[in-house]
Amino acid sequence: MEALALASGSASGECIDLRRERESATIASEDFAVWWAGGRHELEERRALESYFFNDPEFDDAVHPSCMSYKQRYEHALTKGTKFLAKLREWQRTRRAEQPTGKNEQEQEGAEGSVNIKLLYDYRMLLSGPVGTALFQQSFPLRLHFSMFLPTLLSQGNAEQQRRWVGRAWRLDGIVGTYAQTELGHGSYIRGLETRADYDVEREQFVLNTPTLSAYKWWPGGLGQTANMVVVLAQLYIRGKHHGLQQFLVRIRDEQTHEPLPGIDVGDIGPKLGANGVNNGFLGFRNVRIPRDQMLMKNAQVLADGRFVQAAQPLLVYGTMVFVRVIIVRDVMFGLLQAATIATRYSAVRRQSPIEPNAPEPQILDHVTQQAKILPQIARGICYRLAADVLWAIYQRVMQQLESAGPNGSGGRELPELHALSCCLKAVCTEGAAEGIDVLRKACGGHGYMSSANFDSIQGLASAAFTYEGEHTVLLLQTARFLLRQHVDALKRKVLPASVTYLRNASPLSWGDNLLENVARALEISASAQLREAWLWQQQQRQRGGHTNQQANNLSGRRLTAAATLHGHAYLARNSIKQLAQLARNVPPALYELLQQLVELFVLDTFLRQLGAVLKWNRISSKQLQQLEQRYEQLLGALRPNAVALVDGFDFHDRVLGSTLGCWDGRVYERLMAEARRNPLNQEAVNPSYHTHLQPLFRCKL
């Protein structure tokens, strides 16, 4: 029996509901898209790259990955990943040939010595940006080679090591690598890592060992079946003396046969909540020997005779950690807005539950409760982007200053603030994005629960980001440590870094005419007061409770993380207001008005989500709260007509969304059904298990 036509859809193209939404919007999606992409050129470049890949049938999946076994999924991701890399290099070569010769050519060529961090960062954005997402909704095994292995060689290898390895690695010339730090037994507390490297002075070799089960490396992407080289973080011992954690470059599989080398125990760690294309692996060593020159020696050296030479403060490592966290804020913002686009379009197509009796069922986006689920998430994603942009600008400035002036220049002074801000925003934004994606999924009801809606992959990546590269609570506690120092400095009336100057403002909330200012200030006061309270509690535990500093820290843990969280929210709110002021000059008036509404919605939403903390530390009358609630609902109503045009402006290609519910044309039911029909389970009218099990059960008549 063939599929039936959808009653409410037109024969082809977008469905009527979405067409109507687009026609009645007050903004032009294309204006938004240009702004969002960072300019017309950037937008066109991205679209060209997307067409280049998405028009190639080699990258279509015959079967949805969610229907595959875990093993098939790996093989699929590896196969497609190799095609992707080859085609991407082809693209870059073609583009270079089309462009006039310039300074960038050498960089892009990737000849020895010309591969640099900037190139790798750009490449990372390609691999995990729209095209990478579209092709690999749960990532793929070759990504870590570029995002972790190569950057580590660059930042930790000395000149000779870079000459020897970087060019080959860039060209995947017999080398595919990953980075192995976390172990089964240790994650956040890296000093506790157990893998050890003993220097054998006689043979000028390091001997790597995994002394316990809990010392097994666990998690590195691509480690399972893919990587043949690994940078390993291990405890260095020379003649029994411990010299801290060092990084070692270890070949784990034969370059020709790909067989694990003697003493190497390697495999895949198994299925996860998401990111099932990554081939995360485990790795154990038994007396694995590597030559002395495979310890990465930019920051510390072991000389042939076993002398250990420590380098200066490894500032660039610190910088890389910050960088990765900025990237993560972007990643989760991207996921949140994928989800928001899907849910918005679905809510404009789905009709359910009449508002007026006897009237036709409305689009569910007309229910105020639905608007309250969706529109704040769009606003949140946009304001996270505004914060990520600023963080990135600070990062670049600080790194530049460090390079030119060294650690004692102003860059060095700004580093602790940058570090704290990146910890805090990583923690607060991954939480906000994961929560938002969950709200959006649930806003799509049962259909949001289908894998073909793609919320599972999106949520899976956001959930992972909550934990990796700095566990959530650990990062908040690091932020709090920085804030406590600032609090003490504020008491001493010292000058404070820009992101925390509010700590010096001791005046209570005065509710004026500017609602946004009231709200932002209330959040700052709450952060400030919560910090003071945590600090007092900590003091009290020490002084009156007789606890050590460390015990007092532990006993204050809830209060400290609460302060750090509030600081993050206050920063995000204040930054959004500041960035908005900049935007007035840069975008068309209709778009500016929309962005104003979005920033306001974000700030009010942040306030309402933190209402407990806000009311704990501020006097706000119920009339003022009423005013705020009403404004919130007004904003929902004001944004409603532009909702579809707005998410169109993110310019996600349908392949990037990867969702039966979120496509541009809104043909939700056709896609749900088409995806169901191509499931391998549905290719047989009668499943063999009927004859082997169900029919016999019928016959035995329980």
Find the binding residues for a copy of itself in span 132-171 (CB under 8 A). 170-171
Interacting residue with a copy of itself among 42, 105, 122, 173 (CB under 8 A): 173
Instruction: Pick between residue 485 and residue 616 the one whose CB is nearest to a copy of itself.
Output: 616
Q: Is 641 in the site for a copy of itself (CB under 8 A)?
A: no
Q: Is 582 in the site for a copy of itself (CB under 8 A)?
A: no
Interacting residue with a copy of itself among 5, 11, 97, 495 (CB under 8 A): 5
Please state, in angstroms and rounded to a whole number, the distance separating the CA atoms of residues 252 and 65. Answer: 29
Cα torsion through 486, 488, 491, 497, rounded to 10: -10
Interacting residue with a copy of itself among 413, 442, 485, 494 (CB under 8 A): 442
Instruction: Pick between residue 48 and residue 190 the one whose CB is nearest to a copy of itself.
Output: 190
Q: Is 463 in the site for a copy of itself (CB under 8 A)?
A: yes
Rule CB under 8 A: which of 83-142 touch a copy of itself? 83, 85-86, 89
Q: Is 545 in the site for a copy of itself (CB under 8 A)?
A: no
> CA 153 → CA 149, 248, 288, 377, distances in Å?
6, 10, 20, 39
Q: Is 477 in the site for a copy of itself (CB under 8 A)?
A: yes
Q: Name the minimum Å distance from CB 430 to a copy of itself.
A: 10
Please state, in angstroms and rounded to a whole number, the distance separating the CA atoms of residues 197 and 206. Answer: 6
266 phi and psi angles, rounded to 5 deg? -135, 150
> Which window, 326-334, 595-603, 650-658, 682-690, contacts a copy of itself (CB under 8 A)?
682-690
Please state, in angstroms and rounded to a whole number, the distance separating the CA atoms of residues 533 and 87. Answer: 57
Interacting residue with a copy of itself among 12, 55, 69, 510 (CB under 8 A): 69
Q: Which amino acid is at 653?
A: H
> CA 599 → CA 33, 378, 382, 384, 433, distances in Å?
17, 10, 8, 11, 16
Q: Is 372 in the site for a copy of itself (CB under 8 A)?
A: yes
Token pair for residue 554?
């532990």
Q: Name the minimum Å distance from CB 189 to a copy of itself.
A: 4
Residues 6+ apart with CB under 8 A from 541: 547, 551, 552, 555, 556
Interacting residue with a copy of itself among 19, 20, 351, 504 (CB under 8 A): 351
Please state, in angstroms and rounded to a whole number, the distance separating the CA atoms of residues 399 and 323. Answer: 10
Q: Is 224 in the site for a copy of itself (CB under 8 A)?
A: yes
> Which residues, listed in sequence order, are joined to residue 351 by a DSSP beta bridge?
363
Please state, in angstroms and rounded to a whole number, the distance separating the CA atoms of residues 638 and 598. Answer: 10
> Which window, 39-47, 250-258, 490-498, 501-509, contacts a copy of itself (CB under 8 A)?
250-258
CA Rg value for the chain? 27
Q: Is 669 in the site for a copy of itself (CB under 8 A)?
A: yes
Q: Is 375 in the site for a copy of itself (CB under 8 A)?
A: no
> Which window, 196-204, 259-267, 306-314, 419-427, contacts a copy of itself (CB under 8 A)?
259-267
> Which window, 45-53, 63-71, 196-204, 490-498, contacts a copy of itself (CB under 8 A)?
63-71
Q: Is 257 in the site for a copy of itself (CB under 8 A)?
A: yes
A 10 A CB-CB count for 646 gives 26
Q: Is 286 in the site for a copy of itself (CB under 8 A)?
A: yes
> Which window, 99-107, 124-132, 385-393, 447-455, contacts a copy of itself (CB under 8 A)?
447-455
Cα torsion through 403, 408, 409, 411, rounded to 10: 70
Q: Is 269 in the site for a copy of itself (CB under 8 A)?
A: yes
Instruction: Pick between residue 394 and residue 636 the one whose CB is nearest to a copy of itself.
Output: 636
Instruction: Pick between residue 257 and residue 404 the one whose CB is nearest to a copy of itself.
Output: 257
Question: Which long-range contacts (C-beta less than 8 Å, at least 24 apart) are formed by 552-558?
Answer: 553/477, 557/473, 557/477
Q: How many residues bind a copy of itself (CB under 8 A)?
A: 155
Residues 244 and 310: beta-carbon distance below 8 Å: no
Instruction: Pick between residue 391 and residue 475 the one whose CB is nearest to a copy of itself.
Output: 475
Instruction: Catalogue the active-site residues.
Output: 469
Residues 6+ apart with CB under 8 A from 66: 451, 452, 456
Q: Is 558 in the site for a copy of itself (CB under 8 A)?
A: yes
Q: Is 596 in the site for a copy of itself (CB under 8 A)?
A: no
Q: Name the minimum Å distance from CB 4 to a copy of itself.
A: 5
Rule CB under 8 A: which of 178-207 touch a copy of itself? 182, 184-189, 192
Interacting residue with a copy of itself among 304, 355, 491, 506 (CB under 8 A): 355
Please state, in angstroms and rounded to a whole number, the distance separating the CA atoms of residues 666 and 674. Answer: 14
Q: Name the minimum Å distance from CB 478 to a copy of itself.
A: 12
Q: Name the minimum Å distance from CB 696 to a copy of itself.
A: 8
3-state secondary structure of 636: helix
Q: Is 677 in the site for a copy of itself (CB under 8 A)?
A: yes
Q: Is 56 in the site for a copy of itself (CB under 8 A)?
A: no
What's the burial of 364, exposed, middle or buried (CB within 10 Å: 0-12/13-18/19+)? Answer: buried
Instruction: Pick between residue 239 and residue 698 the one whose CB is nearest to a copy of itself.
Output: 698
Q: Name the minimum Å distance from CB 83 to a copy of itself.
A: 8
Q: Is 586 in the site for a copy of itself (CB under 8 A)?
A: no
Q: Name the minimum Å distance from CB 23 to a copy of itself.
A: 23
* 217-218/241-251 β-pairing: unpaired
The enclosing H or E element of 180 equals: strand 177-180
Q: Is 692 in the site for a copy of itself (CB under 8 A)?
A: yes
Q: Is 16 in the site for a copy of itself (CB under 8 A)?
A: no
Q: Is 328 in the site for a copy of itself (CB under 8 A)?
A: no
The conformation of residue 185, written as its DSSP 8-state character, comes to S
Q: Name the minimum Å distance from CB 204 to a copy of itself.
A: 25
Please state, in angstroms and rounded to a whole number, the distance separating the CA atoms of residues 226 and 151. Answer: 18
Interacting residue with a copy of itself among 94, 548, 578, 586 (CB under 8 A): 548
Token pair for residue 154?
């660059």
3-state secondary structure of 229: strand
Q: Is 554 in the site for a copy of itself (CB under 8 A)?
A: yes
At what angle are helices 410-443 and 557-583 packed, to 10 degrees? 90
- Residue whose tokens read 């004026």: 512
Q: Is 368 in the site for a copy of itself (CB under 8 A)?
A: yes
Interacting residue with a copy of itself among 143, 145, 217, 472 (CB under 8 A): 472
3-state secondary structure of 219: coil
The DSSP code sequence of 364-386 is GGGSHHHHHHHHHHHHHHHHHHH
